[in-house]
Structure 1
Amino acid sequence: MPKSLSNSYSNNTQPPFMLLIPQEEWQSLHEKLDRLTDMVEKTQRDSSNCDWLESEEARRLLGISPKTWQNYRDQRLIPFSQIGRKIYVNQADIDNFLLRHRIGEHR
């Protein structure tokens, strides 16, 4: 290695590693990464648009009355957000609540 390159690396680091791969392999890998990036971005867009439910929808999903819903909020059984008088609940929090209260099969 030329002296100028060897001086730029400390004892603990290695010089950059270069790898030659055929162009078609590189293109295939690049296309797969592009598709993966698109899938992640779409998932993030989809989840950000439908994660939050209003109180009425949350109550309907849980099959509970407005009074029971109020008790759940008072007891902080399900996290929620409030803007003015509007209550919003994250779908994932409802799913977690249902999983925590799931009754397994009897054997």
Structure 2
Amino acid sequence: MLEINRVQLKEIETKLEETIKRLNKLQKNVFNSEIIDNADFIQLMKISSSTAKNWRNKGIIPYTQIENKIYYKINDIELLLDKHYRSFK
């Protein structure tokens, strides 16, 4: 049987807290950047690549394409969200 003493438990808690802080910082960094690529956009919006392509083709979201790489401005994503925001009545 594996026993964990208080010191070991405290070390685990500290490492978990540090990991959570790093993850939170990474999430905040997405919105601090000015542009993101298509993979980050898909992950951020929780959509499929075909949905992202449809939105681009329909003109729902502006984008920049350099060769095969697609980029979005964070400001444009925020505008998209604001435009489609529905508040409670």
Indicate whether the TM-score tops 0.5: yes
Deviations 1:29-79, CA, capped at 9 Å, x for gaps: xxxxxxxxxxxxxxxxxxxx8201000111111111111000001011111
Q: Which has the higher contact order (CA 8 A, sep 6+)?
A: 2
Q: What code does the residue aligned with 2:66 have?
A: I
Query: In the TM superposition, what are the counterparts of 1:60-71 in structure 2 within 5 Å?
Result: 60-71=43-54
Question: 1:59, 1:100 → 2: CA distance?
Answer: 19
Aligned length: 58
Instruction: Tell me the residue number matched to 2:18.
Output: none
Instruction: Tell me the residue number matched to 2:80.
Output: 97
Q: Which runs of 5+ in 2 are unaligned?
A: 1-31
Question: 1:59, 1:92 → 2: CA distance?
Answer: 16
Superposition misfits of 4+ residues, deviation over 4 angstroms? none
Q: Which runs of 5+ in 1 are unaligned?
A: 1-48
TM-score (norm 2): 0.61
Query: In the TM superposition, what are the counterparts of 1:1-107 in structure 2 within 5 Å?
Result: 50-106=33-89
Which structure carries more helix by proportion? 2
